[in-house]
Structure 1
Amino acid sequence: MKLISPKLHGIIDYILIIFLYTSPTFFAMQKDVATYVYLLATAQLILTVVTDYSSGMFRMVPLKLHRFIELAISLGMMVAAFTLFQYDERTKPYFAGLGIFWLIVVIFTDYSKKRDGVKAPIL
C-alpha cells in the first residue's frame, strides 16, 4: 500500500531541499562535496517547483516523470556513495543514507493525481 500522498510527498520534498541546503554547513563538508550537495538541492528545488502536484508552482512535469527522476537520483546517490566517495568516511554514509531515504519515499508514494489533496491514509 502506498502510504504517502502527493501532498505529503511535496512537503517531504521541501523539507529535503532545506536539509540539503543546510547540510554542507551543518556537517562541515569539504568544498567539492558541498558543491555536489548544493547542485543536488537546486535540482530538487527546480523539480519540485515545476511538478504538476499541489506543492508545485508551475506544474509542467507530470508526477510519474517526477517519480522516475527521483528514483534515478536516489539510485545515483547510492552508487556515488560507493564509487565517487568510497574513500571518504564522512561523505559515503551521508550520500548512502540520503539515497536510501529518497528511495523509501519514492517506493511508498502514491503518484496518482486523484490522491493529491486527499487526506488518507497519510495527508
Structure 2
Amino acid sequence: MKIISPTQHGYLDYVTVVLFLAAPTLIGLTGVAGALAYALAAIHLAMTLVTDFPLGVAKLLPFSIHGWVERVVGPVLVLLPFALGFDTAARSFYIVIGIVIVVVGLLTDYQQTQ
C-alpha cells in the first residue's frame, strides 16, 4: 500500500536533510561518521531540489529515479556502519536512518505526479 504522496515524500526528504545536518551535534558523530552525515545532507538536499515532484525546484530528475536511488541508499546505510566500524551511537543512527529510508520508499507512490 502506497500511502505517502510525492508532496509528503518531499517534506520527509527535507526532514532527512535536517537530521543528517543535526546528527553530528546531537548524537556526537565525529570523524568519518560525522563527515558522512554532512555529505549525505548535501547530497540528499541536492537530489531533492532537482527531483521532478511538488517540492523539487529544478525538476530535472524523474521522481521514479529518485525512488530507485533511495532503494539503494537505505540498505547501504544499514550495512555501512559495520563495514566502517562505527561506534554504537553512529552505528545506531545509520541503521535507523537507513531503515526509515527503506520504509518511506516502500510506502511512497513514485508513479504519482502530484
Which whole-Å CA distance do the structure 1 matches of 2:43 and 2:70 have between them?
Answer: 10
Higher relative contact order, chain-length normalized (CA < 8 Å, sep 6+)? 1
The share of aligned pairs that are identical, in percent, is: 28
8 Å contact kept, 2:81–2:91: yes
* 8 Å Cα contact 2:5-2:112 kept in structure 1: no
Give the whole-Å Cα distance in 2 for the aligned partners of 1:101 and 1:81. Answer: 16
> What do you get for the CA RMSD once the two structures are aligned?
1.1
Structure (1 or 2) with the greater helix fraction: 2
TM-score scaled by length of structure 2: 0.94
Task: Report the Cα offset of residue 89 of structure 1.
Answer: 1.6
Structure 1 spans left out of the alignment, 5+ residues: 117-123
CA distance in 2, matches of 1:49, 1:22: 19
User: Paired residue for 2:38?
Assistant: 38
Amino acid of the residue matched to residue 59 of structure 1? K
Query: 4+ residue runs of structure 1 moved beyond 3 angstroms?
Result: none
Query: 1:98 offset after TM fit, Å?
Result: 0.6
State the partner residue of 1:49.
49
Alignment deviations for residues 44-73 of structure 1 (CA, whole Å, 9 cap, x no partner): 000000000001000000011000111111
Unaligned runs of 5+ in 2: none
CA contact (8 A) 1:53 1:113 kept: no
Deviation at residue 77 of structure 1 after TM alignment: 0.3
Normalised by the length of structure 1, the TM-score is 0.88
Task: Note the C-alpha offset of 1:82.
Answer: 2.4
SS of residue paired to 1:90: helix
The CA deviation at 1:18 is 0.9
Q: How does 1:1-80 map to 2 (within 5 A)?
A: 1-80=1-80
Looking at structure 1, the residues matched to 15 and 84 of structure 2 have their Cα atoms a distance apart, in angstroms, of 26
Q: Greater Rg, structure 1 or structure 2?
A: 1
Deviation at 1:32, TM superposition (A): 2.3
> C-alpha deviations, 1:23-57, integer Å up to 9, x for none?
11111111321100000111100000000000100
